[in-house]
């Protein structure tokens, strides 16, 4: 019954938005309330669950979104994004621009989690699309796929890293095996799926206020090195932090300091400060002009923040209603491969609950008892669970709303694209895991 209520909630949400044209934020709040009540949650607990979901979703993400928007707007309005875009186009050519975006996103995505990497890349995506006159989604989807794949499959990202700890797997081996799956998967989905008619025929434009309409002359733009450095400052800090966590003892005093500087919101703050100086003050822009850019950037993402928060509320109501237990009861007694079972449990939780983190940690806990008896290496089981956690992103996933809002897509179109590409990543990931299991 719990699963049927979730299905009804998803259907209701789509009707409110597509039939009655109700705002996404209001629709999500209404649906969260009704689903919680129908699931039998005490009436006061429904609102508590929603507040918890909004808070947990936005606790650090709100800083990432805010500082990311500021950095993106500085890159765009100071000509740095156009310089990076022009250089990528020049080096790769317009025909290979998707490969350029995919390669960039994989490099960034190895250390940066999805939301932070997305925020860093989005101004470059907007500018490349404008400069090449190619469809925005055609240019941007390979980058999003690259980030989704690395975030879902590879430690030290939070989900896979948590499963490595739960299953007592080797972090380095999991990372290497994960790359063998992640790179081919990202190429198949990011390049070949992005060239299908489904993507080519979608027309969308960047949200107002997040892209600069000015076309800079060559002398008006900063150099490529400075432009790229300002865009990659957060990546540099987070990479140093990631490497330090892997090689330094956990109790090393310097590790805490490095981890602080490598925390995504803090790293983005440094990037904003550095960009203000290198792209602004150093190039004769005054502080009033730069602060106007920052203010405009935050205003442009206000509704995006509300929608993502409301998506967190919907997700949390489903989690607190105990839908995960219904998934467990459905899969009990199934006589199938432990790899497929691990993937299936995690994928069902992901589709029902929406949160990849919840799905991956719950899936790992449920699969733990069968890992030793299965004879499958822990690293392979980590990747099976990780693949399942990427599958089937839709309206109960806050990441779906981030994708929808930044690409300015109608909800039906966003659902079709996001659900399809995330499902392809999940299924290809499973095929890759089954293949690796033959050799390892």
pLDDT for the residue numbered 436:
95
Q: How many angstroms separate the CA atoms of 246 and 248, rounded?
A: 6
pLDDT for the residue numbered 332:
64
Q: How many angstroms separate the CA atoms of 328 and 410, rounded?
A: 34
pLDDT in tens, 221-278: 999 999 999 988 988 888 888 788 878 888 888 999 998 998 888 989 999 999 999 9
Decide if pLDDT at 335 tops 90.
no
Decide if pLDDT at 330 tops 70.
no
Decide if pLDDT at 56 tops 70.
yes
Decide if pLDDT at 49 tops 90.
yes
Residue 235 lies in a domain: yes
Torsion of CA 299, 270, 112, 317, to 10 degrees: -40
Q: 37 or 214: whose pLDDT is higher?
A: 37
Q: Residue 193: how many CA atoms within 13 Å on its side-chain side?
A: 27
Q: Is 396 helix (H, G, I), strand (E, B) or coil?
A: coil
Instruction: Assess contact for 106 and 150: CB atoms under 8 A.
Output: yes
Average pLDDT, the chain: 88
Q: How many angstroms separate the CA atoms of 264 and 116, rounded?
A: 7
Residue 343 lies in a domain: no
pLDDT level of residue 328 (50, 70, 90 thresholds): low
> Which residues have a Cβ under 8 Å from the Cβ of 302 and sit 6 or more positions away?
none
- 121-125, 134-138, 254-258, 352-356: least confident range: 352-356
pLDDT level of residue 139 (50, 70, 90 thresholds): very high
Domain count, the chain: 1
Of the candidates 354, 363, 362, the one whose C-alpha atom is nearest the C-alpha of residue 314 is: 354
pLDDT in tens, 93-111: 999 999 999 988 888 887 6
pLDDT level of residue 171 (50, 70, 90 thresholds): confident
pLDDT for the residue numbered 331:
63
Task: Give the CA distances from residue 147 to residues 66, 122, 154, 252, 415, in Å, rounded to whole numbers and listed in that order.
Answer: 20, 12, 11, 30, 18
Residue 315 lies in a domain: no
- What does the DSSP 8-state code read for residue 134? -
Q: How many angstroms separate the CA atoms of 57 and 51, rounded?
A: 10
Percent of the chain with pLDDT over 70: 95
Decide if pLDDT at 90 tops 80.
yes
Residue 367 lies in a domain: no
Helix ranges (H only) for 188-322 are: 197-200, 224-247, 253-261, 264-275, 287-300, 302-320
Max alpha carbon distance in the chain (Å)?
69
- 73-77, 299-303, 429-433: least confident range: 299-303
pLDDT for the residue numbered 3:
78
pLDDT in tens, 274-302: 999 999 999 989 999 999 999 988 887 88
Decide if pLDDT at 54 tops 70.
yes
Mean pLDDT of 210-219: 76
Of the candidates 351, 345, 364, 363, the one whose C-alpha atom is nearest the C-alpha of residue 400 is: 351
Percent of the chain with pLDDT over 90: 45
Instruction: Assess contact for 384 and 336: CB atoms under 8 A.
Output: no
Mean pLDDT of 198-218: 81
> CA 22, 25, 29, 32 torsion: positive or negative?
positive
Mean pLDDT of 162-183: 86
Mean pLDDT of 169-183: 88
Residue 141 lies in a domain: yes
pLDDT for the residue numbered 429:
97
pLDDT in tens, 378-430: 999 999 999 999 999 999 888 899 999 999 999 999 999 999 999 999 999 99
Residue 212 lies in a domain: yes
Please report where in the chains the tokens 């790359």 appear, as a residue. 179
Instruction: Assess contact for 2 and 327: CB atoms under 8 A.
Output: no
Residue 436 lies in a domain: no
User: Which residues span the domain enclosing 96?
Assistant: 61-302
Instruction: Assess contact for 177 and 383: CB atoms under 8 A.
Output: yes
> CA 330, 336, 339, 343 torsion: positive or negative?
negative
Task: Give the CA distances from residue 306 to residues 25, 76, 357, in Å, rounded to whole numbers and listed in that order.
Answer: 6, 24, 21
pLDDT for the residue numbered 283:
92
- 113-127, 229-243, 368-382: least confident range: 368-382
pLDDT in tens, 195-206: 998 898 898 988
Decide if pLDDT at 366 tops 80.
no
Residue 239 lies in a domain: yes
pLDDT for the residue numbered 292:
93
Prediction pTM value? 0.81
pLDDT for the residue numbered 396:
86
How many other β-carbons are positioned within 10 Å of the β-carbon of residue 22?
A: 15
Decide if pLDDT at 325 tops 90.
no
């Amino acid at each position: 019954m719990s699963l049927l209520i979730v299905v009804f909630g998803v259907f209701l949400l789509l009707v409110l938005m597509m039939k009655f044209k109700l705002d996404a934020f209001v629709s999500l709040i209404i649906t969260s309330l009704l689903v919680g009540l129908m699931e039998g949650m005490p009436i006061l607990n429904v609102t508590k669950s929603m507040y918890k979901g909004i808070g947990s979703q936005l606790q650090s993400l709100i800083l990432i979104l805010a500082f990311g928007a500021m950095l993106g707007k500085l890159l765009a309005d100071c000509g740095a994004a156009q310089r990076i875009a022009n250089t990528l186009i020049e080096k790769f050519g317009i025909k290979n621009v998707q490969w350029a975006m995919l390669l960039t996103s994989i490099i960034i995505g190895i250390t940066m989690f999805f939301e932070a990497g997305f925020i860093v890349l989005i101004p470059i995506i907007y500018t490349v699309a404008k400069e090449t006159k190619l469809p925005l989604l055609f240019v941007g989807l390979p980058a999003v796929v690259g980030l989704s794949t690395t975030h879902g499959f590879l430690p030290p990202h939070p989900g896979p890293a948590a499963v490595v700890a739960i299953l007592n797997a080797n972090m380095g081996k999991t990372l290497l095996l994960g790359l063998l799956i992640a790179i081919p998967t990202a190429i198949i989905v990011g390049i070949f799926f992005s060239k299908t008619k489904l993507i080519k025929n979608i027309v969308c434009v960047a949200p107002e206020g997040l892209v600069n309409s000015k076309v800079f002359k060559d002398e008006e733009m900063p150099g490529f090195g400075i432009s790229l450095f300002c865009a990659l400052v957060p990546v540099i800090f987070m990479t140093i932090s990631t490497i330090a966590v892997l090689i330094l003892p956990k109790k090393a005093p310097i590790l805490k300091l490095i981890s602080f500087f490598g925390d995504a919101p803090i790293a983005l703050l440094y990037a904003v400060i550095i960009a203000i100086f290198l792209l602004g003050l150093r190039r004769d822009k005054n502080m009033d002009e730069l602060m106007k850019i920052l203010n405009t950037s935050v205003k442009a993402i206000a509704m995006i923040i509300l929608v993502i928060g409301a998506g967190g509320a919907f997700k949390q109501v489903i989690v607190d209603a105990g839908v995960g237990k219904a998934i467990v009861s459905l899969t009990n007694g199934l006589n199938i491969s432990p790899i497929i079972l691990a993937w299936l449990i995690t994928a069902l939780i992901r589709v029902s609950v929406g949160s990849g983190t919840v799905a991956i940690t719950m899936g790992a806990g449920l699969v733990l008892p069968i890992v030793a008896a299965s004879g499958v290496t822990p690293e392979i089981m980590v990747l099976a669970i990780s693949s399942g956690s990427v599958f089937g992103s839709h309206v109960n996933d806050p990441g779906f709303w981030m994708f929808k809002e930044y690409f300015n897509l109608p909800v039906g179109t966003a659902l079709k694209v996001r659900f399809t590409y995330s499902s392809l990543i999940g299924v290809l990931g499973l095929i890759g895991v089954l293949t690796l299991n033959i050799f390892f």
